[in-house]
Amino acid sequence: MTLLLVLLCNFFLASTISSNKVLLSMFPAILFVGIRMLCAEILICVYAYCFSTRMRWRYIKHDIGILVGVSLFTTYLPSILKAFSLKHLFSSKAAFYGSIDPFITALYAYFLWHEKLSWKQFVGIIIGFSGIVIMTLGQTPPEQGWHAWFILFYPELASFASVVVSRWGWILLRALVRNERYTPLEVNGMSMVGSGILALITATMLNQWKDVSIPSVSTFLCLFVYTVIIGNVTGYMLYAYVIKHVNLTFVSLAGFSIPIFVGLIGWLLLAEPMSYSILLAGLFVFLGLLIFYYDELCQVAGARSGR
């Protein structure tokens, strides 16, 4: 049951990445993020306001600092960076950058909180990042014209930066949820309020409204409703629930299914090619994850066998 719940969550998140890819062909990245979040936040906050006494200013004001941090680092900045990279990369390649999330978390813990890493974890991190290097070397047509430096392109840098920034935001969010100050639904709704408004202000300042091009209104509405309901509401609420109640090692390893789902959807529905460099990079990243979590996997297996 746990496996099905995690895989269902990952499939929801993966399918919205694919739908966002299509929508980004109609909208500039920042404007799309703002509109999507604004619609999602209205649904979430109205629901939470009606059923929760904590969605009141007298309660929220005590956590305003950390809520602003959660908004910036879980939604506003990562969403804009992800949207930019997704617009200019194949969806499978953009999604694979999210697979290094556990390595980023471990490096945060190592440098900020001086937590020890075993030699296996260091080896896993090195192998995992080697996979990212392999994927970076395999350039694809959508990212051409966005060259930054050496072998790096701006969409790839944005995708990598989104992982680094969002992981810090989820660390802040987890602190709020774990001490039961708020539910995942409440935190998700509040984090989108400021982020959506700020994204729309940013898009207006950059005059992005003039670049909107919607060839099919019905296609747009179907995809937009899907990405708001499934991605912003259901998917992220389910993910916030999963990280609170399910073993994080299992969640991190199962997270590798997201780029696999995205790759399959992109191949079947978006006519994106299955790149050998991405497949090889995925193999390296997954091997790195297995080595990184080897000791924890042995402990979990030992605990189950001892029951």
Q: What is the pLDDT of residues 162-188, one digit of tens each?
A: 988 888 877 777 766 666 667 766 777
Among 230-234, 246-250, 297-301, which stretch is predicted with the lowest mean pLDDT? 297-301
Calpha distance 220→208 (Å, rounded): 18
Region 242-252 average pLDDT: 73
Q: Helices 119-137 and 294-305: crossing angle, nearest 10°?
A: 120
pLDDT digits (tens, 9 = 90+) for 254-283: 778 888 899 889 889 888 887 777 788 888
Task: Check residues 106 and 49 and name the one with the higher pLDDT.
Answer: 106
- CA 255 from chain centre, in angstroms, equals 10
Helix ranges (H only) for the chain are: 2-23, 29-51, 57-60, 64-70, 77-88, 91-96, 101-112, 119-137, 154-178, 184-205, 217-226, 236-245, 248-254, 257-269, 276-292, 294-305
Region 54-80 average pLDDT: 78
- Write phi, then psi, for 152 (nearest 5 degrees): -95, 145
In DSSP terms, 149 is beta-bridged to 152
Look up the domain containing 204 and give its range.
2-305
pLDDT digits (tens, 9 = 90+) for 105-138: 888 888 877 888 888 889 999 998 898 888 877 6
Q: What pLDDT sits at residue 257?
A: 84
Residue keyed to tokens 């790195």:
288
Q: What pLDDT sits at residue 42?
A: 72
Virtual torsion, Cα 25, 30, 33, 37, nearest 10 deg:
-150
Cα angle, residue 128 at apex, residues 125 and 134 outer, rounded to 5°? 140
Task: Check residues 58 and 95 and name the one with the higher pLDDT.
Answer: 95
Q: What pLDDT sits at residue 147?
A: 57
Domain count, the chain: 1
pLDDT digits (tens, 9 = 90+) for 184-221: 667 777 777 778 888 999 999 999 999 899 988 898 99
Residues 6+ apart with CB under 8 A from 165: 73, 77, 78, 81
Q: What pLDDT sits at residue 23?
A: 93
Does 31 score more than 60 pLDDT? Answer: yes
Region 277-290 average pLDDT: 85
Calpha distance 91→18 (Å, rounded): 7
pLDDT digits (tens, 9 = 90+) for 11-29: 888 898 999 999 999 999 9
Residues 6+ apart with CB under 8 A from 82: 94, 158, 159, 162
Region 52-63 average pLDDT: 69
- CA 134 from chain centre, in angstroms, equals 21
Region 88-92 average pLDDT: 85
Q: Helices 101-112 and 276-292: crossing angle, nearest 10°?
A: 40
Residue 91 structure tokens: 């969806």
Average model confidence (pLDDT) for the chain?
80
Question: What percentage of residues in the chain have a pLDDT greater than 70?
Answer: 81
Does 40 score more than 60 pLDDT? Answer: yes
Does 1 score more than 80 pLDDT? Answer: no
How many Cβ atoms sit within 10 Å of the Cβ of residue 112?
Answer: 10
